[in-house]
Amino acid sequence: MNSEFIEALIQIEKEKGIDKETLLEAIEVALISAYKRNFGSAENVRVSINREDGEIKVFAQKSVVENVNNPLVEIEISEAHNISKKYELEDIIEFEVTPKTFGRIAAQTAKQVVMQRIREAERGIIFDQYANREGDIITGIVQRIDKKNVIIDLGRAEAILTPQEQIPGEVYRQNERIKTFILEVNKTTKGPEIYLSRTHPGLVKRLFELEVPEIHEGVVEIRSIAREAGSRTKIAVYSLEENIDPVGACVGQRGTRVQNIVDQLQGEKIDIIEWSSNPEEFIASSLNPSKVLKVDIYEPEKTARVIVPDYQLSLAIGKEGQNARLAAKLTGWKIDIKSESQIAQNFED
C-alpha cells in the first residue's frame, strides 16, 4: 500500500463515481477482520490508512480500568499514568501493533474491497437506469426459455418475462428482437431483477406514443385503454385541438400507424374510439364496430342500457362477450345490451 494506491482510488472516484473516503473507510473495516483472522488476536483494534501516502497502521485499543480482568483489552490506571498523567478511567489508549508482514495481507484485502464496491456501484447504476424506466417500453433480445420464463437481454442486464405476462399463443424465438413493457424493477444483491410484460395495457399506450406524433406532442391524449392481450384492445383518444381528428391521427394514412402497432402485437385487433365527456356518446362509440340505436343512462348505479338492431346484437356483444366486456372496462360503465326485438317484447309483456 502506497501513494500509488491512493491515486488509484482517486481515479476510481472519477471514473466510477465511488467516493474515495467511503472506499478507505470500508478497507479499514475489512482490515480489522483480516488482522484478527491472520494473527488470531482477541484485541480491540483500529486500522488507520494515511490519506496522503497510503501507509497502514494497526492500533490495539485498551480501556483504562481500576483492576484489569482482561489484559488484551484493558490497562490499569497506574500503568496508564506511566504513559501520561492525562489518562482517566474509561479512557481508551492505543498501542501500535502493525505486523511486519501485514502489507501483503492489506493489499489483497484492499483489492477485494475495492472490486466488491465497484461491482456494487455498477449494480446500483444499472438498477437506477432501469428503475427510472418502470412503466416504459424497451426493446430486448430473446436469450432463452427457462421454466416457461422468457429471459430477455436488455444490453446491460437480463430481464424476465413470466408466463402470466406473455401474450397467449405468442411464440418467442431465440435472438428475436422484441418490445416489452417494464413492469417492475427490484434491487437484489446480485443486481437488478427486472420483470417485463407483453400483456400490460401500458405496452399499447407506449406503442401509440412512439408511433403517433400527435400523442407524443400532447395534442392527442389517450384517455383510457381496455385490453385482452393477444385478442383485442379498445383505446379511447381525445384531441385538444378541434382541427385534429384523434382517431384519424392514430390510424394514420392508409392505416399505417395502427398497423405498425398491430404488427408489434402479433396481429392483436385494435379498436380506436373517440373519447367523449357525454356518457351516451362514449358508450355508443365504445361498442364499435356495432351500430347503436339508443343508450339509456342510469347515473346512480353507473349502468347503461344499450339498444342495438337485431342483426347487430351478436356483434355488439362480441365473441364470448368480449366486445361488451372491453367496452365496459373502457368506459367504466356497466353495460346491458338489448336488441330492438327484446325491448319490444318487454313492452308487450
pLDDT in tens, 116-140: 888 888 888 889 889 999 999 999 9
Tell me what the mean pLDDT of segment 268-283 comes to. 96
pLDDT tens digit sequence for 308-327:
999 999 999 999 999 999 99
What is d(CA 314, CA 321) in angstroms, rounded to the nearest whole number? 9
CATH topology of domain 138-197: OB fold (Dihydrolipoamide Acetyltransferase, E2P) (2.40.50)
Q: What is the pLDDT of residue 348?
A: 60
Domain coordinates in residue numbering, the chain:
3-129, 138-197, 200-275, 279-349
The mean pLDDT value for 208-222 works out to 96
CA dist., res. 31 & res. 236, Å (int): 63
CA-based end-to-end distance of the chain: 98
Selected residue with higher pLDDT from 163 and 342: 163
At residue 150 the predicted structure's pLDDT band, cuts being 50, 70 and 90, is very high
Q: Do domains 200-275 and 279-349 have the same CATH topology?
A: yes
With pLDDT > 70 as the criterion, what percentage of the chain qualifies? Answer: 98
**The domain 200-275: what is its CATH number?**
3.30.300.20
157-163 average pLDDT score? 95
The domain defined by 279-349 folds into GMP Synthetase; Chain A, domain 3 (3.30.300)
pLDDT at position 1 over 70: no
Q: What residues contact 272, with CB distance under 8 A and at least 6 apart?
A: 235, 237, 247, 250, 251, 258
CA distances from 160 to 128, 197, 298, 334, 337 (A): 17, 9, 44, 36, 41
pLDDT at residue 217, as a whole number: 95
| pLDDT level of residue 291 (50, 70, 90 thresholds) | very high
Neighbour order of strands in the sheet with 303-308: 294-298, 303-308, 334-339
Confidence of residue 347 (pLDDT cuts 50, 70, 90): low
Angle, alpha carbons 16-20-24 (nearest 5°): 125
Residue 5 has what pLDDT? Answer: 86
Q: Going by C-beta distance under 8 Å and a sequence separation of 6 or more, which residues neighbour residue 145?
A: 151, 172
Q: Which residue has the cell 472506499?
A: 23
CB 247 within 8 A of CB 289: no
pTM as predicted? 0.72
Q: Are 67 and 42 in contact (CB under 8 A)?
A: no
Residue 257: enclosing H or E segment and its boundaries?
helix 256-264
CATH superfamily, region 3-129: NusA, N-terminal domain (3.30.1480.10)
Reduced to 3 states (helix: H, G, I; strand: E, B; else coil), residue 245 is coil
Least confident of 16-25, 168-177, 208-217: 16-25
d(CA 334, CA 91) in angstroms, rounded, equals 77
**What pLDDT, in 10s, does the model give residues 11-54?**
988 888 888 898 999 999 999 999 988 887 777 899 999 988 88
- pLDDT in the model for residue 120: 85
- pLDDT for res 278: 95
What average pLDDT does the chain have?
A: 92
> What is the grid cell recorded at 234?
379498445
Residue 349 pLDDT greater than 60, yes or no: no
Helix (H, G, I), strand (E, B) or coil at 56: strand
Whether residue 174 has pLDDT greater than 70: yes
Residues in Cβ contact with 334 at an 8 Å cutoff, skipping those fewer than 6 apart: 301, 302, 303, 304, 328
Is the bond into 289 cis (omega within 30 degrees of 0)? yes
